[in-house]
Amino acid sequence: MQESIAHFQHLFSTWGYLLLFAYSLGSGYVGIVVAAILSSMGQMDIKLSMLAAGAGNFVGSVGLALLGRTQKKELYSYFAKHRRKFALVHLWLQKYGIWLIFFNKYIYGIKSILPLAIGFSKYDLKKFALLNVGACALWAVVVGAVAFYASAWVRHIADRLSAYAYLMPVFILALIVGIVWVLKRGSQKT
């Protein structure tokens, strides 16, 4: 049993970065967070995790922009329902420019539309690729570091509270009751 666990850990430490890269092609929030948590536990290296996630995110974004540029007709007809979103993102790109490229990584629903919109438009792909390198690096460092240090902090708190493990069911029940109360109160008409 111990040998199989060690073998799994070896496989994960070897292939985990490749899996993280592949997962990050589509944005990969969960992947970088899991890798950061595993890094805080000593199972992975946080620097390699950030590098793999950032590289995957870069390749995915630039790939979508290139796909949008080369397959414009086919993709535009495929995304016919989303024309308003593309028009909105195009207007945002004109209004906010570089800032949108940097912050689109954190806006759900925009992070995959922006590269396609750039591909559909006449925006300079070299400029986008250059800006996207910085945006992906910043994304990987920010999300990875926050998850790494937050998980270390949570583990520290959990270690201190482990002496009071018998109170955990009460805490979980109180948390559930609190969430239900907030949801009910928020959904009531005033």
Q: How does pLDDT run along the chain (190 residues), one tens digit per residue? A: 566 556 656 666 677 888 889 888 887 788 888 888 888 888 888 999 999 999 999 999 999 999 988 887 777 777 777 778 888 888 888 888 888 888 888 877 778 888 888 888 888 899 999 999 999 999 999 999 999 988 878 777 777 777 777 777 888 888 889 888 888 877 666 5
- 97 DSSP assignment: T
Q: What sign does the dihedral 113-17-43-133 (CA atoms) show? A: negative
Alpha-helical runs (H) found in 71-124: 72-78, 83-96, 98-103, 113-120
What pLDDT is attached to residue 135?
Answer: 92
CB-CB contact of 60 with 21 (8 Å): no
Residue 181 confidence (pLDDT): 87
Q: What stretches of the chain show up as alpha helix (H) in DSSP?
A: 2-24, 29-40, 46-70, 72-78, 83-96, 98-103, 113-120, 125-161, 168-187
d(CA 37, CA 59): 24
**CB of 31 closer than 8 Å to CB of 23:** yes
How many Å from the N-terminal Cα to the C-terminal Cα in the chain?
A: 59
C-alpha to C-alpha distance for 183 and 166, rounded to whole angstroms: 28
pLDDT of residue 9: 62
